[in-house]
Amino acid sequence: MGRGQKARHLAGELRRGIAELRWPGGKLPTEQQLAREQGVSLNTVRRAVDLLVQDGLVYRRQGSGMYIANADTGPLIGVAVPSMTYYFPRIIVGIERELAKHGAQMLLRSTEWNSVEERQAVDGLVNAGAAGLILATEGPNMAGLEDVDVPVVLVERGLEDPNTLHEFVASNHAAGARTALEHLRGLGHTRIGYLERISPHTAPQLRAGLGDVPVLIESRERWTTADADRFLTALLRKKATAVICFADREATLLLNAAIAKGISVPGELSVISYDDEVADLSEIPLTAVSPAKLDVGRLAVETLRARLADPDSPRRQISLVPNLVVRESTGPV
């Protein structure tokens, strides 16, 4: 694990500790204590705390120590997400910042992509006194949430079920796919491929947005270097000049396969990634569709606050079109 990754991991651990009121007095342990407890260097602790300071969760008081911002104030809002390491951290930051503006506290749980743990998390948050919940659910069609006694707002869920009555704030991934498609068409590409990591929420929306355009489509639970190489061979056989990939890891595998074969990117093949978590870190920085994760978190809090303020108001279902961030991996045919 690299130094930056260690710092992000520790920052996640500290976020959980803050959300769980592990330090009810509002003062964090010293940097030396945290380094000993977590088995990391002082530099890693300082970088982790810097991330929390940037997010407005923690502040340093000269000569006194590190303190939790807005400790012991405001209503408690329960948040449950399936992952603390990929995609959802930026949404969590958006939630945290908006809650902090209104003096509210957050109690955070990770459900590890497990619908059983999700239900336990929901029950635990309600029992802990949460006034409302912000959830990214894994259960099919959000089953079981109807019996929850507090208001619920879904994040990055809901659009896949056109009949849902739940309030939600979600990225419109179908529209995001169309944004990528239009970018490639504007560059003259007409033969476009698509590869994806199978997922229950995002991938079906992307396929819907792409329609019958792709000349080659392949889905896998997990892509390997060999899989990417075989797909690239098939893509070239179809005379494709561009490809859209879900997600960043898969796009990077395909990009590396192209470089290994001596194929110029974007000269001979344009590549677009979807998610934009680490797309800029590839050997050739990837053009990427970038969901507005901070705004998803912020608007989820706004939606929940409106529901708490007026329980009889019309339900809100908010769809955000992702942005396209153009980098070096796309160019004219």
Which of 73-82, 251-260, 279-288 has the lowest average pLDDT? 73-82
Which of 13-17, 143-147, 227-231, 322-326 has the lowest average pLDDT? 143-147
pLDDT reading at 73 higher than 70? no
pLDDT at 143: 55
Q: Tell me the average pLDDT of the chain.
A: 90
- Specify the pTM: 0.76
For the stretch 260-319, pLDDT in tens is: 999 999 999 999 999 999 999 999 999 999 999 999 999 999 999 898 888 888 999 999
Reading the block at residue 201, the tokens are 């929420």
- Residue identified by tokens 């060999």 is 226
Domain ranges in the chain?
Answer: 3-68, 76-170+292-319, 173-291
pLDDT at 61: 66
Q: Is beta strand 65-68 parallel, antiparallel or unpaired with respect to 105-110?
A: unpaired
pLDDT at 13: 86
For the stretch 117-168, pLDDT in tens is: 888 899 888 888 788 899 998 765 455 677 788 899 999 999 888 888 899 9
pLDDT band at 96 (very low <50, low <70, confident <90, very high): very high
pLDDT reading at 67 higher than 60? yes
**Which residue type sits at 284?**
I
Burial of 110-121, coded b for 16+ CB within 10 Å and e otherwise, reads bbeeeeebbbeb
- Percent of the chain past pLDDT 90, that is, above it, reads 59
Phi first, then psi: give them for residue 325, nearest 5 degrees.
Answer: -105, 110
Asked if the domains at 76-170+292-319 and 173-291 fall in one CATH topology, the answer is yes
Q: Does the domain spanning 3-68 belong to CATH 1.50.10.20? A: no
Query: Which residues face 58 on adjacent strands?
Result: 68
Pick the CATH number of 173-291 from 3.30.2270.10, 3.40.50.2300, 3.60.20.10, 3.40.190.290: 3.40.50.2300
Among candidates 315, 209, 228, which has minimal Cα distance to 269?
228
Other beta carbons within 10 angstroms of residue 225's beta carbon come to 12
Contacts (Cβ under 8 Å, ≥6 apart) of 137: 115, 118, 145, 154, 157
Q: How far apart are CA 155 and CA 105, in angstroms?
A: 18
Reading the block at residue 9, the tokens are 């991991």
pLDDT at 141: 46
Superfamily holding 76-170+292-319: Response regulator (3.40.50.2300)
Q: With the CA atoms of 116, 122, 123 and 126 taken in that order, what torsion angle do they form, in degrees rounded to the nearest 10?
A: 180
On whether the CB atoms of residues 12 and 89 are closer than 8 A, the answer is: yes
For the stretch 162-207, pLDDT in tens is: 888 899 999 999 999 999 999 999 999 999 999 999 998 899 999 9
